[in-house]
Amino acid sequence: MFNFASNDYLGLATHPAVMQAACDTIAKQGLGSGASRLISGDAPLIHQLERELADWKGFEDCLLLGSGMLANIGLLQALADRHTQIFADKLNHASLVDGVRLSGARCQRFAHLDMHQLEALLQKHPAERRIIVSDGVFSMDGDTADMSRLIDLAETSDALLIIDDAHGTGTVGPEGRGLTALGGIAGNPRLIEVGTLGKAFGSYGAFILGSAEMIEGLRQRMRTLIYSTALPPALPAAALAALNLIKQGDLVQQLHGNLGLFRKLTSKLSLMPSDSPIQPLPVGEDEQAMAMAGQLKQLGFFVPAIRPPTVPEGTARLRITLSAAHSRQEITQLAQALESFV
């Protein structure tokens, strides 16, 4: 089937240069890293990738971890405790939700993208330490947070801002550098950004970006880094190859072209507002969403139905994701199949 469900937004998971970089590294260095980073698993390729990601994204330093889940849980546990007040978007990713819970911090959740409510909550809840936490591109809706407004609120309320831009990195902003670059806030000393190698980079792993002082503190305090086996060297090698391809710009432009084509061909559909590769089609009831996904499967398209508890009750949807690897013909045929449901 044609896969319109993957987060491999640039088709790099199967790019020959990316695969070859991984294979060459396995042939020279073996597969596993053998230990945690603070023992003997701290491969030079990890440090090279951290330097190049920090330079590309416009931050002082970078810390590479095993996954986005490990990054967000470890980050929030390292920064927050019972004296901390966290302010979180209600539609944040599960890794952020769990990180907040495990940190022991008090948490105020604000309505999705509601900056007025967030401002009111910041004024109402003083604390020794305050942290605003939000996704950049939201994974089930495809919409985006207001970077400039969030950093303004962080500065005026003396708070840190954590942005998980897993779905924005490689897909939005100048050169695909993500929402923080698009919003002009990359490198702000109050900003900590989390990204992933498992989506647009076509690999596996995650990274945290911030000031040099912040990253060094996390390196010494993050339990999910200290007590986890380091990534196999083949994965940062693949990510370095992917980063070089992303910097060239052709794949990012191809993705945006495919997105524009899809939006044009589906103009009659009630797609949710999204400028990201995530293009959800709201259906409502679970049974109807499942039936539509089944019909698409019979036509050769993999577009899964997303249902509660992943999304709220009554908001089941088809979650369509676009890639630079999709052809115009595939996108056109999918659009025709979707229009048959209207």
Catalytic residues: 139, 167, 199
Residue 309: partners with Cβ closer than 8 Å, 6 or more residues away: none
Residue 33: partners with Cβ closer than 8 Å, 6 or more residues away: 41, 43, 229, 230, 231, 232, 233
* d(C-alpha 88, C-alpha 130), whole Å: 11
Q: Residues 207, 81: contact at Cβ < 8 Å? A: no
Tokens standing for residue 147: 């970077």
Q: Residues 207, 195: contact at Cβ < 8 Å? A: yes
Pairing relation of β-strands 129-135 and 160-164?
parallel
Helix pair 234-248, 44-57: axis angle to 10 deg: 30
Unique residue bearing structure tokens 């260095």: 29
Stated length of the chain: 342
* d(C-alpha 199, C-alpha 187), whole Å: 22
Task: Return the closest-CA partner of residue 230 out of 30, 93, 52, 51.
Answer: 30
Unique residue bearing structure tokens 């769990």: 98
Is the Cα torsion angle 51, 57, 62, 64 positive or negative in sign?
A: negative
DSSP annotation of 206: E
Q: Residues 3, 297: contact at Cβ < 8 Å? A: no
The alpha carbon of residue 326 and the mean position of all alpha carbons in its chain are separated, in whole angstroms, by 20
Q: Where are the beta strands (DSSP E) in 240-332?
A: 278-284, 301-302, 305-306, 316-321
Which run of H or E residues covers position 86? Answer: strand 84-89
